[in-house]
Amino acid sequence: MKTRKLIIALLFFIFILISCLYLPTGFGKSGNYSFKNFKLSTIELKSATLLYNKLNLDSLGLSQEAYLMGMKGFEHLKSQGKLRNENVISIIDFSKPSSSKRLFIIDISSGVLLFNTYVAHGQNSGYSMAEKFSNKVSSLQSSLGFYETSSTYLGKHGYSLKLEGLEKGINDNAMDRSIVMHGASYVSEGIIKIKGYLGRSWGCPAVPEKYSKPIIDKIKNGTCIFIYANNSMYFNQSKVLQS
């Protein structure tokens, strides 16, 4: 009888141990996480996956996690009526170094990749990799999360696009920080060849000068921008992703 109880106890212990090994651990900085914590509906997931494969986004360097999270938030913002233009999404994948073309602009309505090019991160976010993020004024760091594009203007960086942060406490100080999309000479392959990485902004997603106007004209006035990085603090705080 005692032997039987010991065997049952041992089997129960093994079951608990195995269960713990396979429990989802959330979004850690190591990148060992599961997107299932942020679910799309079956229809949305199928549609998003088909487009991801059709555009060969994996081979172009856009991580599936960044893409699916972007689509998750995009669908939520659409359902809440937060986007004035629901045809285009821009995804910036800061899990990649700045020497990679980590800006992806997708026309959802036509299923076309409009632009895939370089984009800078903030001076105090890191050198080659963006690793630190802030919503504070004068931090000179990038902010993660979802934005809606606003109006254009001519400023010290030329033709520029205002961005409105849609996530409270994460990027909602974007307007006060003058976080805008603009062209910059330090965002070029020439700079990468010299330094190994792009020059850095004061927190703005700066793009190559030769593409800045066509990019801004395409995404201005109400489209979605999602800035992604493998950052557990953001994943835990984002109400858009947790919706």
Classify residue 31: in a domain, yes or no: no
Residues ≥6 apart with Cβ < 8 Å to 236: 26, 27
Checking if the pLDDT of 1 tops 80, the result is no
Checking if the pLDDT of 22 tops 60, the result is no
**What pTM does this model have?**
0.85
**Distance, CA of 154 to CA of 214 (rounded, Å):** 15
Q: How many domains does the chain have?
A: 1
Bridge partners, 155 (sequence order):
158
What residue numbers bound the domain in which 143 lies? 40-237
Classify residue 21: in a domain, yes or no: no
Residue 152, domain CATH: 2.40.440.10
CA 243 to chain centre: 17
Q: What is the pLDDT of residues 42-91, one digit of tens each?
A: 778 889 999 999 999 999 999 999 999 999 999 999 999 999 999 999 99
Contact in structure between 178 and 155 (CB atoms under 8 Å): no
Classify residue 18: in a domain, yes or no: no
Contact in structure between 87 and 106 (CB atoms under 8 Å): no
Side chain identity, residue 202: W
